Amino acid sequence: MNRDPVEQALKTLDEMHQTHDRDAPGMQLGIERVTRTLGRPWFAWVAGLFIVTWIAVNLWEMLSGRRPFDRPPFQGLKAIASLTSLMMAIFILITQNRQNRIAHRRAEITLQMALVTEQKVAKTIELLEELRRDAPSLPHRRDKEAEAMAEATDVREAAAKVDDMGTTRA
């Protein structure tokens, strides 16, 4: 089966997303839908219109001589805004926690793929160098750079170097 590598990669990625969504509790997915809705520009307009309408209706009631349902300084509106803000913050945190888990998993997969790819490249260079040495038609010369590239990178050593660089820049 000779598939287009890009198509295959996209299909695999799509399957991973579907699995992640399928494994998520329904409440989690519901909260994420609410978060997506609240994060759209039109919601800011709706919220602003609600606040302006609330204030206007109450002021109109006062000017008309009737009893407003929320007199200035609009304690009811403040309570609704505070409760809504609290719930929005909680929903955003819940959504971000799941997104962080997904991002962490992607980073681990990327690291694993990079390590495997690095090993494959090192082996390919090693085999090419061996072929070059064994081929009678090619001149025999020592290539220090190719020899160094044929060695697989020690991940712990690379991580230690990155950590050292981070402390010198801080």
Q: Are 110 and 135 in contact (CB under 8 A)?
A: no
In SS3 terms, 42-75 reads as HHHHHHHHHHHHHHHHHHHHHHCCCCCCCCCCCH
43, 40, 42, 30: which is closest to 94 by C-alpha? Answer: 30
- When pLDDT is cut at 50, 70 and 90, the band that residue 157 belongs to is confident
The mean per-residue pLDDT over the stretch 131-156 comes to 79
Quote the pTM value: 0.66
Q: Is the pLDDT of residue 170 over 60?
A: no
105, 100, 115, 96: which is closest to 155 by C-alpha? Answer: 115
Cα angle 9, 4, 113 (rounded to 5 degrees) comes to 35
110, 119, 111, 108: which is closest to 9 by C-alpha? Answer: 110
Hey, where are the domains in the chain?
Answer: 5-38+73-169
pLDDT in tens, 19-54: 888 888 889 999 999 999 999 999 999 999 999 999
Residue 155, SS3 per DSSP: helix
